[in-house]
Amino acid sequence: MRIGPWTLPNNVLVAPMAGVTDRPFRQLCKKLGAGYAVSEMAASNPKLWDSVKTSRRLNHDGEIAPISVQIAGADPAMMAEAAAFNAARGAKIIDINMGCPVKKVCNVASGSALLRHEDLIVRILDAVVAACAPLGVPVTLKTRTGWDRESRNALRVARLAENAGIAALTLHGRTRADLYTGHAEYDTIRAVRAELKIPLIANGDIDSPEKAKHVLDYTGADAVMIGRAAQGRPWIFREIDHYLRTGEKLAPPSHGEMRELLLEHLDDHYRFYGEHTGVRTARKHIGWYLEGLPDADSFRDRMNLIDNTRDQWRAVSEWFLALSNDGDHNPAPAVQALLAA
């Protein structure tokens, strides 16, 4: 799997998800077998670049290459400026968001709302590719099958992207109107694959090694991109990669390994966000890890009342110890250093 000059270690990729695929999460997914990860969506408006939220989204310190930044917007010149700005900050690949279905993005004609304006799509693609070409930075596009089921235009948009010089296309097999309901349109992805020469990445409903293989075989896509199925389950990338390479399924992680991975994730998360924000934003990740585990609901209710990282970390550690009888009760050095600062 290649994107421009970059050869990826495998074809199992992390989908950009707002509020989820921050640097700590991307790093953990890459460590656990993801061949590539795209940052959560960054605004193209220069007025927002100095905000705390955007600054965090553009923080790639220590991240495994290649660094890919997704940008969103509806103004071609502003999108080109954002692409160049992120390339100057270390981005090696720029991804354009034309797939986000949330109202606050679509209401400003960004994300999947652009699928209703193919002329504007062309101007954005041309502007961003032109800005990145002199820098040697390839541009990718993530999109959906159309605005709604009556106006699917994935094939036309794919051709526009290829003609504009887009290096790879990710297609989520749903329309904007579908949001995340129903089933992904693998027939549409297959039809697009038959028409394109550039790499095509299939996205949507891929939640197991068997499903990943089926989607690759059926659609002919070059790679799969995993989003919601990786929430609280970052080891899904090694499971899929191993299955695609060997045809064999890996054993699921033990409770002890899950504990170690979650505590490592929390260590990095707390360092990244700090005490106040860290303890709050970690709650959703902890909740995802707990899904399907014994007595998870009652523990989650208690854990969500904790308002400091020390007690949150210890509560998680001790709860998993009760399941695994493994490890110790002492906060990791990173957490101790944070609390002492």
Question: Does 87 have pLDDT greater than 90?
Answer: yes
Q: What is the four-CA torsion angle of 221, 82, 79, 20, rounded to 10 degrees?
A: 50
Active site (catalytic) residues = 100
93 forms beta bridges with: 68
Convert 246-262 to b/e letters by CB count within 10 Å (16 or more is b): eeeeeeebebeebbbbb
The pTM for the full model equals 0.90
pLDDT at res. 48: 58
pLDDT digits (tens, 9 = 90+) for 133-156: 999 999 999 999 999 889 899 999
In the predicted model, what is the mean pLDDT of residues 154-165? Answer: 97
β-strands 2-3, 6-7 pairing: antiparallel
Neighbours of 204 (CB within 10 A): 26
Percent of the chain having pLDDT more than 70? 89
In the predicted model, what is the mean pLDDT of residues 263-270? Answer: 97
pLDDT at res. 172: 96
| pLDDT band at 126; cut points 50, 70, 90 | very high
**Tokens matching residue 170:** 């990710």
pLDDT at res. 112: 83
Question: Does 15 have pLDDT greater than 60?
Answer: yes
Half-sphere exposure in the Cβ direction for 147 (13 Å, CA): 12
pLDDT at res. 338: 41
CB 3 within 8 A of CB 199: yes
User: Residue 76, by phi and psi: left (phi above 0), alpha (psi -120 to 50) or beta?
Assistant: alpha
pLDDT digits (tens, 9 = 90+) for 174-214: 999 888 998 999 999 999 999 999 999 999 999 999 999 99
Question: Does 231 have pLDDT greater than 60?
Answer: yes
**Tokens matching residue 301:** 């209710």
Task: Write down the residue that tokens 């062309």 correspond to.
Answer: 122
Tell me the three state secondary structure of residue 42.
strand
**Tokens matching residue 158:** 């794919």
DSSP state of 314: H
Contacts of 215-219 with CB under 8 Å at 24 or more apart are 215/186, 215/189, 216/11, 216/244, 218/186, 218/190, 219/186, 219/189, 219/190, 219/193
Residues 228 and 330: their CA atoms lie apart, in Å, by 31
**Tokens matching residue 288:** 């995802």
Question: Does 47 have pLDDT greater than 90?
Answer: no
Tell me the three state secondary structure of residue 7.
strand
Residues 6+ apart with CB under 8 A from 276: none
In the predicted model, what is the mean pLDDT of residues 11-40? Answer: 95
Residues 330 and 241: their CA atoms lie apart, in Å, by 34
| pLDDT band at 291; cut points 50, 70, 90 | very high
**Tokens matching residue 111:** 């994300």
pLDDT at res. 105: 65
Neighbours of 148 (CB within 10 A): 13
Task: Write down the residue that tokens 């509560």 correspond to.
Answer: 315
Neighbours of 294 (CB within 10 A): 10
In the predicted model, what is the mean pLDDT of residues 2-20? Answer: 95
